[in-house]
Amino acid sequence: MRRFDVEMSDLQNHLLDMAGLVQEMIKTAMQELVERDPKQADTVFCLEKEVNIQEIIIDDKCLKLIALNQPVGVDLRFITSAMRINSDLERMGDEAVNISEMALDLIKYPKIKSLVYIPKIVEAVQNMVMDCIRAFNTSDSKLALSVLAKDDEVDDLKERVLANLKSLILKSSDIDTIQRAIDLIFVTKSIERLGDHATNISEDIIF
């Protein structure tokens, strides 16, 4: 096997390793949020360090492959897609950290009841992330297309969550309740952005 082919295979393996780390970050941050378990935050923060290291390694590999081999056609498209996917994965890790940090604050106060759509949007986005990583691993464009279709569902759930939270803010006179509702608005937007990044990765897979 040519050295270039070995390096391309190594690049894909690093991307898959990073995707696995990011998926674990998201899963753990979501558990922390839904189950109100502050111990999960330590895992998220430790994984973030590994993800940041992987991001640098992958970016460096992509630049060296382009500079030293001057690839064209399919190979060049794969490398440029790998750079975009690498960036999206790193940003997904950042969003997982944001969710974890806000969850730590929310856990300090009593749970806001009747927010049935929070677990639903969490589940929907986790499925998007899982499917986009599986699609990348198997080069499954049909599965990637299904991720794009799920984005509308996430957008709809987001709007329902935000409507509930805004209604709660308007009706409440308790400062702590209002602050928790505002924090959950930011959490919901971070969850939606995870779906957006999963969509970006799926579009790169299809391309």
Tell me the whole-structure pTM to 2 decimals. Answer: 0.89
Domain that holds residue 136: 3-206
Check residue 32 and give its pLDDT.
93
Supply the pLDDT for residue 65: 94
Judge whether residue 204 has pLDDT over 90.
no
Q: Are 205 and 144 in contact (CB under 8 A)?
A: yes
Residue 158 confidence (pLDDT) above 70: yes
Residue pLDDT, tens place only, 163-198: 989 988 998 888 888 988 999 999 999 999 999 999
The token pair at 191 is 């969850």
Per-residue pLDDT tens over the stretch 92-114: 999 999 999 999 999 988 887 65
State the total domains in the chain.
Answer: 1
CATH number of residue 157's parent domain = 1.20.58.220
User: Residue range 29-46: average pLDDT?
Assistant: 93
Q: What are phi and psi of 8, to 5 degrees?
A: -65, -40
